[in-house]
């Protein structure tokens, strides 16, 4: 494995009849850059949920396409902790080229929307059946010209995937996303765009934990604050997901919305 992330580590231990009784409940999240499988081992309780969420989100951003969370060697100490996998699945469902599946051979899973595989063969078949992720990326610096490069990427994608009608609204959205990074986060960023059925999914990942705050319509006298309003206007839905060392701001655009907007 190339990277192992510990979801919870509490080093203290107690003594009972001369035997060390560990009180550190640990869940290890093991990822391999060459594989779509993420293996979770050990014990997961509510205290470890946050770190597991962060590890899964980091992997899902790092690897476009479906990722399988293998729970075959994981013991869930508190049933409510299982909700973290449904939460992550919902979070990434609108990211470009991203999806989470669960491998649960024990059959104990009661998911609410997350695809579940009962065997490794079934999980591998699901990966084979999934189309290769059609995705474009650009690594940009927070400088003048970043929005222009992002628009070029978006225009290229819309041409490739035959949704030219989405180029204009998508360029509006990505311009505001990138300009927000340049003005506020001031960190390197990744712009990602991918098709999804007939829609277009785009996202900008930066290195600032500061979340965008959208308060609706900006006053007419306001000199700024219209960027998120523009994103809200041109997209079907949008949002921001906290991830380790930053955030992912994403939106989904649909040709039907564009036709209605112009109509």
Given this model, what pLDDT does residue 23 score?
A: 39
Q: Are strands 116-117 and 98-103 parallel, antiparallel or unpaired?
A: parallel
Instruction: Domain of residue 182: give its range.
Output: 136-262
Residues 225 and 255 in one domain: yes
Instruction: Provide the residue-wise pLDDT of the chain in tens; the chain has 263 residues.
Output: 444 344 443 333 333 333 434 334 589 999 888 889 999 999 999 999 999 999 999 999 999 999 999 999 999 999 899 999 999 999 999 999 999 999 998 876 666 778 899 999 999 898 888 776 789 999 999 999 999 999 999 999 999 999 999 999 999 999 999 999 999 999 999 999 999 888 999 999 999 999 887 655 444 333 334 678 899 999 999 999 999 999 999 999 999 877 655 65
Q: Tell me how far apart the alpha carbons of residues 156 and 248 are, in angstroms, rounded to a whole number.
A: 21
DSSP string covering the chain, please?
--EEEES-----EEEETTEEEE----EEEEE-TT-SEEEEEEEE-GGGHHHHHHHHHHHHHHS-EEEEEEEEEEEESSGGGGHHHHHHHHHHTTSTTEEEEEE-TT-----SS--EESSHHHHHHHHHHSPPP--EEEEE-SSTTHHHHHHHHHHHHHHHTT-GGGHHHHHHHHHHHHHHIIIII-S-EEEEEEEETTEEEEEEEES--PPP---SSPPTT-SS--HHHHHHHHSSEEEEEEETTEEEEEEEE-HHHHHHHH-
**Final residue belonging to a domain, choices 78, 100, 129:** 129
The residue among 182, 168, 146 whose CA lies nearest residue 234 is 168
Residue 113 sits in the same domain as residue 146: no
- The structure tokens listed for 153 are 């990427």
78, 75, 160, 70: which is closest to 121 by C-alpha? 70
| Entry pTM | 0.84
* Boundary of a domain, candidates 82, 106, 129: 129
Residue 178's pLDDT is: 97
Helix/strand/coil for 167: helix
Q: Do 148 and 92 have their domain in common?
A: no
Q: How many domains does the chain have?
A: 2
Q: Residue 144 maps to which CATH number? A: 3.30.565.10
CATH number, residue 8: 3.30.750.24
């Amino acid at each position: 494995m190339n990277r192992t992330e510990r979801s919870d580590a509490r080093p203290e231990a107690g003594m009972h009849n001369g035997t060390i009784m560990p009180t550190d409940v640990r869940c290890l999240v093991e990822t391999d850059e060459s594989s779509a499988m993420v293996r979770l081992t050990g014990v997961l309780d509510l205290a470890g949920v946050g770190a597991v969420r962060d590890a899964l989100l980091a992997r899902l951003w790092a690897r476009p396409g479906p990722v399988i969370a293998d729970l075959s060697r994981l013991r869930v100490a508190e049933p409510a902790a299982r909700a973290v996998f449904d939460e992550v699945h919902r979070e990434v469902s609108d990211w470009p080229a991203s999806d989470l599946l669960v491998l649960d051979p024990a059959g104990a899973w009661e998911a609410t929307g997350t695809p579940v595989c009962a065997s490794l063969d079934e999980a591998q078949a699901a990966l084979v059946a999934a189309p290769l992720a059609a995705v474009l990326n650009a690594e940009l610096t927070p400088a003048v010209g970043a929005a222009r490069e992002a628009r070029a990427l978006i225009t290229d994608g819309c041409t490739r995937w035959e949704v030219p009608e989405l180029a204009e609204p998508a360029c509006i959205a990505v311009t505001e996303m990138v300009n927000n990074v340049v003005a506020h986060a001031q960190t390197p960023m990744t712009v990602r765009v991918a098709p999804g059925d007939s829609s277009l999914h785009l996202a900008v990942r930066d290195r600032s934990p500061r979340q965008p705050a959208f308060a609706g319509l900006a006053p007419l006298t306001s000199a700024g604050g219209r960027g998120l309003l523009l994103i809200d206007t041109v997209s079907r839905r949008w949002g921001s997901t906290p991830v380790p060392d930053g955030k992912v701001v994403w939106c989904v655009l649909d040709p039907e919305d564009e036709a209605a907007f112009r109509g």
